[in-house]
């Protein structure tokens, strides 16, 4: 590659490399109840990112000494398939996967009524089939739908999205290419009806003003994801709405 | 005093249901004077109590419930029963046998072995300890014959029907004994295995079409056709 041929990620008129505007999210498709042997499940296609989530529980906590006497133990297992990234990923759990498991668990736990099920455990299995940026955001959003499908009581759905800084501009919903080339990445998980942030991370460098702008952008993005989540729930359970006779 | 839903509207966790002087029923929580759904289901209001009829969920034992349990563990003087709930039921020997059981002389397994089914009622449960069960009342005890099937716990009210309409119809049409456990297990005892299989099929039909109207008549028709 000649050094004069540097690819621009954002065009002069503010269009990104995949044709999106700066504050436009990728096409998102959620689906509930895709697995038979779990208590609840969800699948998401978030642009080119594809993630499958299965939830087991609340069930008896094993090993028993890890059970908590006052609440359910929530555990997330984030895993990337070897074929999920361009370079083959070693199937052994990496540092990044362990960290993301913890981060995702902590983003979801405030939404769950864990105190309803003392001494039990709720396990969330996240399988990233194809990764193209924002996998933690997609995982959190899909996992909260899988929790709904499992019938676990929750305060609100958790919607999540990331804002990045690319070529000096703030962009909503960063994809892999922008994440790698960009100056900063800031994912957030949010419970819209509670106006509560359950996850906020940032790497790279941004100014205070940019941070405040990012927060507005993140909230807007989360509301859009929230809408998609509600639509997915509605289309999955719509058959039940016409319920006429019940005991 | 306002509600923000149509009766029987589909709601999901976090949906604002009402604001003002209400009471929160099942699957509804209160936050700052506002009432929100905590589960996916159908919103309902009765006598100022806002509740959500769940569409998904697991069985939580309530004292007085009749449940069907499967023995998974035999301890010296008690059995642990799987009752399709996050918590296993405990059935003490004194709540099952009419005489005391001396663990030095005989094993609990002699009376109730792993894999066997028991009809029991929940005596007490407060989530800090496993629910304690009793099988000493009339109509309770070990299941000796028939078929036991697992059904979705949220479909139990539908299988029973309004004032027991569905279950009464099933029993009348088939002459079989049917017992619906609150925990989502149904015991069917009919004249033959084939007969039981047909009833099981009918219950699967109720489970799958729980939301449709005129189901009782359709299930009756189904039974008549299958048994001809």
What is the CB-side half-sphere exposure of residue A195 using CA atoms within 13 A?
A: 2
Q: Which fold has domain B147-227?
A: Ribosomal Protein S8; Chain: A, domain 1 (3.30.1370)
- The greatest distance separating any two alpha carbons of chain B, rounded to the nearest whole angstrom, comes to 66
Give the pLDDT of residue B63: 96
What chain A holds in terms of domains, given with CATH numbers, is: 28-236 (3.30.230.70)
Helix, strand or coil for residue B195?
helix
Are the C-beta atoms of residues B60 and A59 closer than 8 Å to each other?
no
Strands B89-92 and B78-82: antiparallel
* Cβ-proximal residues to A53 (8 Å cutoff; 6+ apart), any chain: A41, A42, A43, A44, A124, A125, A126, A127, A139, A142, A143, A145, A146
Which of B5, B7, B10, B42 is the best residue to mutate to test the A interface, defined by the most A CB atoms within 10 Å of its own CB? B10
Q: What would be the CATH architecture of the domain defined by B8-54?
A: Beta Barrel (2.40)
* Partners of residue A30 in chain B, C-beta under 8 Å: none
Task: Give ipTM to 2 decimals.
Answer: 0.90
**pLDDT tens per residue, range B21-38:** 999 999 999 999 999 999
Cβ contact, residue pair A151, B58, below 8 Å: yes
* Partners of residue B54 in chain A, C-beta under 8 Å: 151
pLDDT(A242) > 80: no
Give the pLDDT of residue A244: 43
**pLDDT tens per residue, range A123-172:** 999 999 999 999 999 999 999 999 999 999 999 999 999 999 999 999 99
Mean of the pLDDT values across residues B105-134? 93
Helix, strand or coil for residue B127?
coil
Give the pLDDT of residue A7: 74
- Select the more confidently predicted residue: B228 or B196: B196
A182 interface with B at CB cutoff 8 Å: no
Nearest to A247 among B8, B57, B161 (CB): B161
**Pairwise CA distance, residues B151 & B159, whole Å:** 9
- Select the more confidently predicted residue: B110 or A246: B110
**pLDDT tens per residue, range B82-106:** 999 999 999 999 999 988 888 888 8
> Which residue from B57, B49, B59 is spatially nearest to B21, judged by alpha carbons?
B49
The count of residues in chain A is 247
Give the pLDDT of residue A12: 87
Give the pLDDT of residue A239: 73
- Select the more confidently predicted residue: B166 or A4: B166
**pLDDT tens per residue, range B71-80:** 999 999 999 9
Give the pLDDT of residue A125: 98
* Partners of residue B215 in chain A, C-beta under 8 Å: 245
**pLDDT tens per residue, range A91-103:** 999 999 999 999 9
> Which residue from A193, A92, A74 is spatially nearest to A143, judged by alpha carbons?
A74
**pLDDT tens per residue, range B177-199:** 999 999 999 999 999 999 999 99
pLDDT(A243) > 70: no
Q: Minimal Cα–Cα distance from A104 to chain B, Å?
A: 19
**pLDDT tens per residue, range A176-192:** 999 999 999 999 999 99
> Which residue from B63, B64, B119 is spatially nearest to B96, judged by alpha carbons?
B119
Paired tokens of B224: 């008549």
Domain boundaries, chain B: 8-54, 66-142, 147-227
Could you tell me how many CB contacts below 8 A there are between chain A and chain B? Answer: 112
pLDDT(A245) > 80: no
pLDDT(B135) > 70: yes
**pLDDT tens per residue, range A39-90:** 999 999 999 999 999 999 899 998 899 999 999 999 999 999 999 999 999 9
CATH topology match: B66-142 vs B147-227: no
Q: What is the mean pLDDT of chain B?
A: 93
Cβ contact, residue pair A247, B160, below 8 Å: yes
- The greatest distance separating any two alpha carbons of chain A, rounded to the nearest whole angstrom, comes to 73
Mean of the pLDDT values across residues A231-243? 81
Q: Which fold has domain B66-142?
A: OB fold (Dihydrolipoamide Acetyltransferase, E2P) (2.40.50)
B48 interface with A at CB cutoff 8 Å: no
- With CA atoms as reference, the chain A residue closest to B165 would be A247
Give the pLDDT of residue A247: 40
CB atoms closer than 10 angstroms to residue A193 = 17
Confidence of residue A211 (pLDDT cuts 50, 70, 90): very high
């Amino acid at each position: 590659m000649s050094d004069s041929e540097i690819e621009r990620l954002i065009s002069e008129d503010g269009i990104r490399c995949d044709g999106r505007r700066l504050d436009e999210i990728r096409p998102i498709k959620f689906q509930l109840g895709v697995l038979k042997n779990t208590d609840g499940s969800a699948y998401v296609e978030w642009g080119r990112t594809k993630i499958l989530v299965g939830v087991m529980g609340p069930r008896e906590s094993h090993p028993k000494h890890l059970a908590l006497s006052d609440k359910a133990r929530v555990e997330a297992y984030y895993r990337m398939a070897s074929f999920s990234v361009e370079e083959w990923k070693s199937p052994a759990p990496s540092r990044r996967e362990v960290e993301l498991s913890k981060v995702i668990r902590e983003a979801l736990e405030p939404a769950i009524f864990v105190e309803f099920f003392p001494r039990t455990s709720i396990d969330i299995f996240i399988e990233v089939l194809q990764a193209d940026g924002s996998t933690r955001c997609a995982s959190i959003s899909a996992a909260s739908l899988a929790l709904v499908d499992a019938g676990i009581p929750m305060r609100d759905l958790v919607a999540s999205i990331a804002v990045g800084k690319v070529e000096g501009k703030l962009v909503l919903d960063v994809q892999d290419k922008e994440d790698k080339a960009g100056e900063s990445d800031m994912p957030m998980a949010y419970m819209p009806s509670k106006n509560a942030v359950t996850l906020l991370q940032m790497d790279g460098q941004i100014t205070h003003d940019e941070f405040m702008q990012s927060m507005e952008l993140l909230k807007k993005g989360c509301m859009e994801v929230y809408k998609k989540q509600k639509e997915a729930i509605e289309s999955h359970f719509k058959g039940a709405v016409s319920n006429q006779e019940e005991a | 005093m306002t509600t923000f839903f149509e009766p029987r509207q589909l709601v999901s966790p976090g949906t604002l249901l009402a604001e003002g002087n209400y009471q929160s029923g099942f699957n509804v929580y209160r936050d700052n004077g506002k009432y929100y759904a905590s589960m996916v289901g159908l919103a309902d209001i009765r006598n100022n109590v806002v509740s959500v009829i769940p569409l998904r969920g697991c069985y939580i034992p309530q004292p007085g419930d009749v449940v069907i349990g499967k023995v998974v563990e035999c301890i010296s003087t008690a059995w642990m029963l799987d009752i399709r709930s996050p918590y296993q039921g405990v059935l003490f020997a004194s709540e099952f046998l009419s005489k005391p059981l001396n663990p030095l002389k005989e094993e609990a397994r002699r009376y109730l072995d792993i894999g066997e089914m028991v009809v029991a009622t929940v005596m007490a449960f407060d989530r800090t300890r496993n629910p304690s069960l009793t099988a000493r009342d009339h109509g309770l005890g070990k299941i000796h014959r028939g078929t036991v099937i697992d059904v979705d716990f949220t479909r139990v009210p539908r299988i029973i029907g309004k004032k027991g309409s569905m279950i009464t119809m099933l029993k009348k049409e088939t002459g079989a004994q049917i017992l619906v456990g609150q925990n989502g297990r149904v015991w069917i005892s009919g004249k033959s295995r084939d007969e039981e299989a047909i009833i099981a099929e009918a219950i699967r039909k109720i489970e799958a079409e729980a939301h449709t109207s005129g189901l009782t008549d359709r299930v009756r028709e189904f039974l008549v056709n299958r048994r001809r």
